[in-house]
A and B are shown apart, each in its own frame.
Chain A
Amino acid sequence: MLRYIRIQDNNKRDADINFKSVKTGNLIYLALENGEKPTNRKVLKSTAENNINYILNKPEPTEDDYANFSEKLLKDDSEIDFELFGKFIGKTDKIYTDKNLKPVYNVIVSEQILNPKGELVEEKKQKHINSNITGEDIVKWTGKYIPKKKLYNKIVLSSKYQLKHVNGLTFDFLYTIAKDLHDKESFMMLGGGKGNEPLVMNDNGRPYRAFLEGKISGNSYCLIMHLSNQEYKSVV
């Protein structure tokens, strides 16, 4: 799917443009000695009727139950379904079940917030978060130029998206932005909402701070949007 972002320049003009993630994959692949690439398959190794809780059939098993269970396993082979075990399977659907593996049709979804020690801070209803990079939302030019040499060791710039023009007018628009940032050797901090919020790339996605880097070479340009959600900070 072609992805669009509506972005502003330093004159508060906005335009819809393309963006695409930049990611170099692995340069080495794994294969058998003869060069044959094996395929990944899903295989069934257990079902609800063969798990320990189902076979024990008791909410709080005693030590005797476990001892008898061993006998049962040896006698009945109830932990194995000889028809299904080892069968290659395709796609499966995900469903919510209770602890007895019965389907649950009405669920209540909440979010637990944990502090750095893993302790519960609060539990709240999960909110729907809308993406804020296109449509009626404009990614704002905050005007905060941050020199590259000041930012590179403060913030982890984890993922990259390249911004691309969609026609001649947007080529000029993006080239001018790239030249401005190239000349200043700086990033521009981008903001969602009124300009002070992080960007949400997808509905219900995680929020990220975004920093725009621009470079030019002759009549060509390169505009990279870096996303970050972490600082370079010591954990010790």
Chain B
Amino acid sequence: MGRKIKFNLEGQVLESEITKVDRKKLYGSSKKIVKDNQGNECVVSDLYQGSRILPRGSISQVLVDKNGSFVKRSDLVGFNEHDEKVEKVSSIFALENKCRKIDLDEFLSVNVKSIYQLDVADDQLEKWKNLFKNDEVYFLVFNYREDYEGDDAYIISNDSGFFMTVGKKNEFVYLEQENINLEEEEEEIDDELDFSML
């Protein structure tokens, strides 16, 4: 049995386990296969300085300080934008998570990182349904493990059940006629996911 999370939905405390909704489990996936002329599968390796072949797993990422000494990740602490130290944000499993109702527009602004399904026990199902009768969306801070920064999470419901959307909310800028910017900028296209629905 999984661990339960306590949600305080504007005063009403309810519990649920969560299951990550993996897109592959809904639609399947695709995998690129590369073979040589004889039909043998190839692997991707690194070529260092044009001559030395490094098999997968030959390179590690490490953190170093200004003297070039190795730094352990556990030695790092969190700082905010004013360069002030911040406290760690607890794991959602470790506390009663305060959830507050928010406007739909805030929910729609979120860049989504992951989706969790709430596995609500039968004896609590009616209580949950009552809290979502009018298309409510609840916000909470989400941290799977204790860390220095939590994500924004939103609980919603539909005919299929209750879901928690985890990501980062955005503040959109309204543009006026004089807001024209034709300067070159680095643009990143988020293009990691497959599509086989609709």
CB within 8 Å of B: which residues of A? 1-3, 18, 20-33, 35-36, 38-48, 51, 89, 92-99, 101, 103-104, 106-116, 118, 121, 123, 126, 148-149, 152-154, 156-160, 162, 164-168, 171, 198, 201-202, 205-209, 213, 215-217, 219-222, 224, 226-227, 229-236
Contacts and interface: CB of A to CB of B under 8 A. Distances in A.
Contact of B46 (A24, A93, A156, A234): A93
Contact of B59 (A26, A89, A106, A165): A89
A219 B176 CA distance: 6
B62 to A, nearest CB: 5
A89 B62 CA distance: 11
B69 to A, nearest CB: 9
B130 interface: no
A232 B156 contact: yes
Given A21-B187, A28-B148, A231 B26 contact: yes
Given A46-B54, A234-B117, A235-B117, A157 B185 contact: no
A93 B135 CA distance: 51
Given A48-B55, A115-B28, A152 B195 contact: no
Point out which of A33, A96, A99, A207 has the most chain B C-beta atoms below 10 A from its C-beta.
Answer: A96
A153 B28 contact: no
A109 B42 CA distance: 10
A40 B175 CA distance: 37
Interface stretch (B6-14, B30-38, B91-99): B30-38
Contacts of B186: 1
Given A165-B175, A202-B191, A206-B191, A156 B182 contact: no
Contacts of A41: 61-64
Contacts of B86: 28
Nearest to A216: B174
Contacts of B177: 165, 168, 171, 219
A110 B33 CA distance: 5
Nearest to A20: B187
Contact of A98 (B42, B73, B83, B163): B42
9 contacts: A22-B111, A30-B73, A39-B63, A93-B50, A108-B37, A152-B108, A152-B156, A198-B195, A234-B21
B121 interface: no
B57 A21 contact: no
A96 B44 contact: yes
A148 B11 CA distance: 28
A219 to B, nearest CB: 6
B189 interface: yes
B195 A229 contact: yes
Interface in B48-75: 48, 50, 52-55, 57-66, 71, 73, 75
Given A20-B187, A48-B53, A107-B42, 12 more contacts: A28-B86, A30-B78, A31-B76, A38-B64, A44-B59, A47-B58, A89-B48, A95-B45, A109-B34, A111-B30, A226-B108, A235-B25
Nearest to A224: B172
A217 B111 contact: no
B28 A236 contact: no
A39 to B, nearest CB: 6
B159 to A, nearest CB: 9
